[in-house]
Amino acid sequence: MQTSSVFAVFKAWQPSPLVPVLGMNYFGHFLALLAAVLTWAFATWGELKPASHWRWVDIAGEGGMTVMAFVWLIQLRLSRPAGRVTDLLCLALAAIFLGEWVDTLDEFWQLPKSVYWDNWLESTLVPCGTLLLTLGLHHWRQEQKALTEQLLKRERLFREHRSMDGITQLGDAGYLEAQICLEQRMHRSGALVMLRLDGFDRVARELGWAEADRLLQAASHLLLLNLHPEDLLCRYAADRFCVLMPNADAEGARQQAAHLRQALSSLAHHSRSGQRLQLPALSAWALLDERQPAEEQLLHLTQRLSGGGA
């Protein structure tokens, strides 16, 4: 039992795999080899400077930039999928890393005046790296525009990954409260619709939380399909979802609450064991109150929903 626990902890601490660059899984090894070759070239053709001639400010600055470029490269390969944007950004950081590495080596070794390749590397690697970085950021911007379109109805006005629910990939209660506060500061009208699945606790108890999470994911996808483009869907807590409807009036909120309740009630979710789950949905709605704190408005709506909703 102890052995399996230790093995589980070890697997949890294993680092994430680095994505390939230009199809090369060992891009980092290739980069380290190039850095080693440059070090060997300086040590072979150059003369080691006396320690008294070392300029520590330049060593700290250029060496620090070398380290930071390497760290950025690792972070990039850990956090992005493979693709053109990743290739461009990684190549840019690799060029900057090698250019700064040459600058750092130049602080320790003095090469003969007949050697020109070090000046050529210093003059080309970093500018080429910044050019590739600019090109990569341009394509990254296009990529972000496409991703923003995909995240429509999941976020609005600002992005905060720390407020993302890990199961449904929707904003959480904190994100929703921040959005309500933003509407209040702008003195804009709107409405809130809260929904929940009646019997969700029984599903979690009988089929387990993994199956209950799959049900929540299916419910979130269904609700997203039934929202207006300007609406925002968040997971408030447990099986409760909340929709922020900017500029909505009482009649619009009432109709939307009824529509979403009907859509959620018609959801037929099939469990991994083959069971067909179709739970009735409850809803409650309220207009935004410019003077009442967002947390109190949501708590009041939760109480109405717990009382049976609409």
Give the pLDDT of residue 16. Answer: 62
80 alpha-carbon distance from chain centroid: 10
Give the pLDDT of residue 243. Answer: 93
Give the pLDDT of residue 4. Answer: 46
| In contact, 120 and 90? CB cutoff 8 Å | no
Give pLDDT tens digits for 2-27: 444 444 443 444 556 888 888 888 89
Q: Which of the pair, 2 or 281, is modelled with greater confidence? A: 281
Alpha helices in 151-266 (DSSP H): 173-185, 200-207, 209-225, 250-265
42 by Cβ neighbours in 10 Å (0-12 / 13-18 / 19+) ranks as: buried
Residue with tokens 């003077």: 291
Give the pLDDT of residue 170. Answer: 87
Calpha distance 254→246 (Å, rounded): 14
Calpha distance 299→171 (Å, rounded): 17
Give pLDDT tens digits for 159-198: 555 667 778 888 888 888 988 988 888 888 899 999 999 9
Give the pLDDT of residue 123. Answer: 85
Residue with tokens 């040459």: 102
Give the pLDDT of residue 164. Answer: 76
Instruction: Identify the weakest region by mean pLDDT among 95-99, 147-151, 218-222, 283-287.
Output: 147-151
Give the pLDDT of residue 13. Answer: 44
Q: Is the pLDDT of residue 114 over 90?
A: no
pLDDT band at 305 (very low <50, low <70, confident <90, very high): confident
**Which are the contacts of 269, defined by CB distance < 8 A and separation ≥ 6?**
214, 215, 218, 219, 276, 277, 278
| In contact, 236 and 298? CB cutoff 8 Å | yes
298 alpha-carbon distance from chain centroid: 27
Q: Is the pLDDT of residue 300 over 70?
A: yes
Cβ neighbours around 282 below 10 Å, total: 21
Q: What is the CA radius of gyration of the chain?
A: 28
Q: Is the pLDDT of residue 149 over 80?
A: no
Give the pLDDT of residue 163. Answer: 62
Longest Cα–Cα distance in the chain: 87
Which 8-state DSSP code applies to residue 274?
Answer: S
Average pLDDT of the chain, as a whole number? 84
Give pLDDT tens digits for 235-247: 998 889 999 999 8
Q: Is the pLDDT of residue 262 over 70?
A: yes
The structure tokens listed for 11 are 């697997």
Q: What is the mean pLDDT of residues 33-44?
A: 91
Cβ neighbours around 33 below 10 Å, total: 11
Using DSSP, state whether 171 is helix, strand or coil: strand
What amino acid is encoded at 299 in this protein?
L
Give the pLDDT of residue 79. Answer: 85
- 214-231 core/surface letters (b: 16 or more CB in 10 A; e: else): bbbebbbeebeebbeeeb
| In contact, 66 and 93? CB cutoff 8 Å | no
The structure tokens listed for 129 are 């790296």
**Which are the contacts of 256, defined by CB distance < 8 A and separation ≥ 6?**
191, 193, 228, 243, 245, 248, 285
Calpha distance 66→102 (Å, rounded): 9
Calpha distance 245→232 (Å, rounded): 7
Give the pLDDT of residue 74. Answer: 92
Give pLDDT tens digits for 55-107: 888 889 888 999 999 999 999 998 888 888 999 999 999 999 999 999 998 88
